[in-house]
Amino acid sequence: MKSPAPDHLPAALEPVRDRLLRAARTDAEELLARADREAEALLDEARAQAAAILDDARHQGETDATQGRTAELTRVRRTIRARELGVRRQAYEELCRRATERVRGLRNTADYPAIRDRLHRRARQLLGPDAELAEHPGGGFVAQAPGRRVDCTLDALAARALDRLGAEAESLWAP
C-alpha cells in the first residue's frame, strides 16, 4: 500500500479540521457569552469599589484626594485587567478542554477507523517503516525512532488546530 503524499494529508484532514473549527467556534461563543457576563459583573464590582474609594479620598482633602485617586485608579485598573486576563485565560483553557474532548469523541464515530489509518500512515511517513508505534488511549498514535518522536494523537491534532487559529482564537472572547 502506497502512503499518500505529504501534501495530500492536510486536505484529507480538512473535514476534521472544519468540524473542529465549527465546534470550537460554537463552544467559544458560549464561553464568550459567559465570560462577558462574568467580566461585566467584575467590572461593576470594581467600579463600585472605585467609586467608594474616590468618595473616601474626596473627604481627605483636595491634595490627598488627587494623589489617592490616581493611586487607587491605577490599582483598580490593574485589578480589573488582572481579572479580565484571568477570565480570558479560563475561557481559552475551557476552549482547549472542549476542543480536545470533541476531537477525542471522533473515536466513537464511523469515521474513526479512516482517521486512525491516516494518523498511522502519517506517523510511518514521518519516521519511516522501522518506527515503533504505540496507540494512544485518547486516540491516534505516538511513534518513536532512534532520536525522534512523533505525536499523532487526537489530543495533538486538537492542539495543533487551536495553535493554527493563533490570534483568531483570542478574538472569540475579546471585547
Which sequence spans correspond to the domains of the chain? 8-170
Residue 6 has pLDDT above 80, yes or no: no
Residues 139, 153: contact at Cβ < 8 Å?
yes
pLDDT digits (tens, 9 = 90+) for 78-116: 999 999 888 888 888 898 899 999 999 999 999 999 999
37 or 173, which is more confident: 37
pLDDT digits (tens, 9 = 90+) for 24-79: 777 667 766 776 676 677 667 767 776 777 677 677 777 887 888 898 889 999 99
| Contacts (Cβ under 8 Å, ≥6 apart) of 64 | 57
Q: How far apart are CA 113 and CA 54, in angstroms?
A: 64
Q: What pLDDT does residue 131 have?
A: 92
Q: Which of 161, 128, 154, 150 is nearest to 140 (CA)?
A: 154
Q: What pLDDT does residue 21 have?
A: 73
Q: How far apart are CA 56 and CA 51, in angstroms?
A: 9
| Region for 145 from its dihedrals, namely left if φ exceeds 0, alpha if ψ lies in -120 to 50, beta otherwise | beta
Q: How far apart are CA 35 and CA 154, in angstroms?
A: 27
Predicted TM-score (pTM) of the model is 0.53
Residue with cell 473549527: 21
Residues 45, 52: contact at Cβ < 8 Å?
no
Q: How far apart are CA 113 and CA 39, in angstroms?
A: 43
Residues 116, 154: contact at Cβ < 8 Å?
no
Q: How far apart are CA 139 and CA 156, in angstroms?
A: 10
Residue 3 has pLDDT above 60, yes or no: no
C-alpha cell at 3: 502512503
CB atoms within 10 A of CB 38: 16
